[in-house]
Amino acid sequence: MTVSCMPVDNLTDLRQYVHETICHHNELEPGAFHFTERILVRNGHPCGIFFCLHGPRSVKLTAIWEVERNTILFYGSDGQKQQKTQLTTAPELAMALA
């Protein structure tokens, strides 16, 4: 599993980084497949974002931004962790709810 550090200033940069990283790990062309996200809620409060790239042959490649630890965990189609990125700066999750 790869571990890296990354500054992210806003949600657009976060989305772009996650999308490009998933595509890079799986040798996919960025923008060629549908990319979705969902706010994760714990005890009624937002705690992260679940990202999913809907790839070829119904493959789903995912990542989770965990706000409390300020990390992004990337998972392959087999559910195994591929990469962990520690964010040195990160956007406010409240901005995603607006």
87, 92, 96, 98: CA torsion to nearest 10: -170
How do the pLDDT tens digits run along the chain, 98 residues long? 667 787 888 999 999 999 999 999 999 999 899 999 999 999 999 999 999 999 998 999 999 999 999 999 999 999 999 999 999 887 877 655 55
Can you list the alpha helix ranges (DSSP code H) found in the chain?
Answer: 11-25, 94-97
Q: Is the whole-model pTM more than 0.75?
A: yes
Q: What is the rounded distance in angstroms from the CA atom of residue 17 to the CA atom of residue 90?
A: 12
Phi-psi region of 57 (alpha: psi -120 to 50; beta: other; left: phi over 0): left
- Strand, helix or coil at 22? helix
